[in-house]
């Protein structure tokens, strides 16, 4: 109990020091969106390593998985988990290709939910997501990051996701961190590292 109170107090204090998010002014938000949108228009390819951390209150340890994402505009996306297991999902030609530890399958991406998810992921790399009619967006900032907070408008998407926060390091136009909060309150955090913009990506990255 005391441990919890102490931990809570620590969180509270540390949040004052490290991550005091304040809302951007209308002009700041406009400048931020314009900058990100224009710079991401120049993106042809994007590749990045990621670390995904899933937190659940009843677990002793977080569940951490690692992988690599590759993107080729306008709409080819590959999301590959490499550790501790192999799982790839590729969005290409309105189809979704999956390799689940050697078991390959494909589905039509006509499912509305998949379409929305794909749009959001691709949109977050080309600046289009700020205009996505599915979400309302709030703009925040702290000492190190500009933050765009997305909240789904439709009840259908709210069933899956309560909120998505994209963090952009100050002065950069690509996302370095994604925080997702589910309807159940659990959070998933994805941190991107070694991001390469417009470097050639081999075709094998986009096939299973």
- Name the minimum Å distance from CB 127 to other proteins: 23
Give 43-95 as a DSSP string.
-SEEEEEEEEEEE-TT-SS-EEEEEEEEEETTTEEEEEEEESS-EEEEEETTE
* Angle, CA of 118, 101 and 160, to the nearest 5°: 35
Piece in contact with other proteins (CB under 8 A), picked from 1-9, 70-78, 127-135, 181-189 = 181-189
| Residue given tokens 């408008």 in the structure block | 153
Reply yes or no: is the peptide bond before residue 84 cis, omega within 30 of 0: yes
Which among 123, 120, 125 is positioned nearest to 40, based on CA atoms? Answer: 125
Q: Considering the rule CB under 8 A, would residue 12 count as an interface residue with other proteins? A: no
Piece in contact with other proteins (CB under 8 A), picked from 20-28, 97-105, 122-130, 143-151 = 97-105
Q: How many residues bind other proteins (CB under 8 A)?
A: 28
Contacts (CB under 8 A) with other proteins, residues 43-82: 52, 54, 56, 58-61, 63, 65, 81
- Of these, 13, 100, 115, 196, which contacts other proteins (CB under 8 A)? 100
Q: Considering the rule CB under 8 A, would residue 89 count as an interface residue with other proteins? A: yes
Comparing CB distances to other proteins, the nearer of 159 and 170 is: 159
The per-type count for the chain, helices as H runs and strands as E runs, is 4, 12
Q: Considering the rule CB under 8 A, would residue 3 count as an interface residue with other proteins? A: no
Comparing CB distances to other proteins, the nearer of 53 and 172 is: 53
Comparing CB distances to other proteins, the nearer of 93 and 186 is: 186
- Of these, 15, 85, 110, 112, which contacts other proteins (CB under 8 A)? 85
CA distances for 196 relative to 48, 106, 167, 170, angstroms: 6, 28, 17, 17
Piece in contact with other proteins (CB under 8 A), picked from 30-38, 123-131, 158-166, 197-205 = 158-166
| Residue given tokens 């992988």 in the structure block | 67
Q: Considering the rule CB under 8 A, would residue 103 count as an interface residue with other proteins? A: yes
Q: Which residues pair with 92 in a beta bridge?
A: 95
Distance CA 141, CA 20 (A): 8
Binding site for other proteins (CB under 8 A): 52, 54, 56, 58-61, 63, 65, 81, 83-85, 87, 89, 98, 100-101, 103, 105, 159-161, 180, 182, 184, 186, 188
């Amino acid at each position: 109990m005391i441990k919890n109170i102490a931990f809570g107090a620590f969180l509270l204090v540390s949040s004052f020091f490290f991550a005091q998010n304040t809302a951007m002014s209308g002009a700041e938000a406009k400048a931020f969106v314009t900058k990100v949108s224009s710079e991401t228009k120049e993106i042809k390819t994007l590749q990045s390593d990621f670390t995904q951390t899933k937190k659940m209150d009843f677990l002793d340890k977080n569940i951490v998985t690692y992988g690599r994402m590759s993107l080729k505009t306008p709409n080819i996306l590959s999301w590959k988990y490499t550790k501790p297991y192999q799982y790839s999902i590729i969005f290409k030609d309105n189809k979704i290709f999956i390799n689940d530890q050697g078991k390959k399958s494909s589905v039509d991406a006509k499912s509305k939910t998949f379409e929305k998810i794909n749009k959001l992921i691709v949109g977050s790399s080309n600046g289009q997501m700020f205009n996505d009619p599915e979400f309302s967006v709030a703009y925040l900032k702290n000492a190190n990051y500009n933050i765009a907070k997305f909240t789904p408008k439709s009840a259908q998407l709210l069933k899956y996701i309560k909120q998505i926060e994209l963090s952009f390091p100050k002065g950069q136009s690509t996302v370095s961190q994604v925080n997702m909060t589910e309807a159940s309150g659990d959070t998933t955090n994805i941190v991107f590292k070694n991001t390469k913009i417009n470097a050639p990506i081999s075709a094998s990255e986009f096939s299973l």
